[in-house]
């Protein structure tokens, strides 16, 4: 069940965290970074305390020897603490009064996210790590992972929330405000937005960009589409995906229909259309669909990829038209299909 359908649970959690935030518990959240042979801080932890692995960057895996070493470390590791041999591991460390209570409450908050939303959140964490590492241009394939434990999911979401509201503070060693108050603020944002989106990733003007793939979908399917986009980000160059939330400022303008049709008709190598009952009903999807139908008429079939959530009829789509079934494939698998399509359409 997605966030949009969890109003009652969000209200309950807001009330519970608000009650504890009023108590001003002497509870802290710190980030402990462990590199091979060193840690980011070396001090006695306050009691009670609780530590959990949030994410891990294993390093660049090169050749058969690198794969074999990774497989051996994976088999011989206690995955509660991550994989042996990792270059960098980030732990969330909770210390002080209210620690056990916060852990229980945060574990419940972490179950707010359904599978698609949890995948989207984990993909953001891993994507940011891999983006940073790709700029180093180290040889080999970089490997990273994030913890899917509900407590780790919630702590990673708190850091993501900070990155939206106070950019830079999510990278501090000591995270402020206290975990109860920060959770309350994050829950209030979830209650208002019902999404875990970051906005306006691109500072480049739309007129100057050419996209490898563009997404056309109704808002009801955003969690699935967002998770698919996140899975694609680390595999494609910056500014090569047209996803509306990445360009909100530029899309807040008159004559948006003209802008969108230009993006889909003239500036995208591949358009992925998420077909469903809602798609057929939405005005903006209809405007985008006009550009798609124009491509179909001009025999540009290689620029179009259908994904279906249901069997609702959509004008212009025939029963013989091929599609990917979103009911049978998770977002990360769809991302693989999209990459294959991009590669076969543009082998260079």
Contact 109, 183 (CB under 8 A): yes
**What's the confidence (pLDDT) of residue 29?**
97
**What's the confidence (pLDDT) of residue 101?**
98
**What's the confidence (pLDDT) of residue 250?**
81
**What's the confidence (pLDDT) of residue 107?**
98
Q: CA separation (Å) from 304 to 91, 213, 228, 261, 301?
A: 43, 10, 17, 14, 6
H or E element that contains 116:
helix 115-134
Positions of the chain with pLDDT lower than 50, given as ranges: none
Measured CA angle at 116 (ends 276, 221), to 5 deg: 25
The reply to whether the predicted model has a pTM over 0.75 is no
Q: What is the rounded CA–CA span in Å between residue 271 and residue 258?
A: 17
**What's the confidence (pLDDT) of residue 202?**
66
**226 burial level (CB within 10 Å; 0-12, 13-18, 19+):** buried
* DSSP state, residue 26: -
CB 2: neighbour CB atoms within 10 A? Answer: 17
Contact 232, 213 (CB under 8 A): yes
């Amino acid at each position: 069940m997605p966030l949009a359908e969890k109003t009652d649970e969000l209200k309950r959690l807001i009330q519970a965290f608000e009650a504890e935030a009023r108590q001003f518990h002497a509870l802290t959240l710190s980030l402990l970074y462990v590199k091979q042979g060193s840690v980011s801080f070396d001090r006695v932890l306050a009691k009670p305390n609780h530590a959990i692995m949030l994410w891990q960057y294993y390093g660049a895996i090169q050749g058969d020897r690198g794969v074999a070493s990774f497989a051996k470390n994976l088999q011989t590791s206690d995955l509660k603490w991550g994989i042996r041999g990792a270059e960098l591991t980030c732990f969330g460390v909770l210390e002080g009064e209210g620690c056990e209570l916060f852990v229980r409450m945060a574990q419940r908050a972490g179950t707010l996210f359904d599978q698609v939303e949890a995948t989207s959140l984990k993909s953001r964490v891993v994507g940011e790590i891999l983006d940073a590492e790709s700029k180093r241009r180290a040889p080999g394939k970089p490997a990273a992972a994030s913890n899917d434990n509900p407590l780790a999911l919630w702590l990673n979401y708190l850091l993501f929330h900070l990155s939206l509201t106070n950019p830079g503070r999510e990278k501090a060693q000591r995270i402020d405000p206290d975990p109860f108050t920060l959770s309350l603020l994050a829950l209030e944002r979830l209650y208002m937005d019902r999404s875990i989106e970051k906005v306006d990733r691109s500072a480049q003007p739309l007129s100057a960009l050419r996209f490898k793939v563009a997404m056309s979908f109704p808002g009801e399917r955003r969690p699935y589409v967002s998770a698919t986009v996140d899975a694609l980000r680390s595999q494609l160059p910056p500014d090569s995906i047209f996803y509306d939330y990445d360009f909100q400022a530029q899309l807040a303008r008159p004559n948006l229909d003209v802008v969108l049709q230009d993006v889909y008709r003239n500036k995208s190598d591949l358009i992925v259309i998420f077909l469903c009952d809602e798609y057929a009903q939405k005005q903006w999807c209809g405007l985008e669909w006009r550009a798609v139908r124009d491509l179909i008429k001009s025999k540009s079939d290689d620029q179009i990829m259908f994904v279906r959530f249901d069997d609702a009829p959509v004008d212009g789509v025939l029963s013989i038209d091929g599609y990917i079934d979103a009911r049978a494939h998770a977002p990360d698998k769809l991302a693989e299909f999209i990459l294959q399509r991009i590669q076969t359409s543009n082998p260079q």
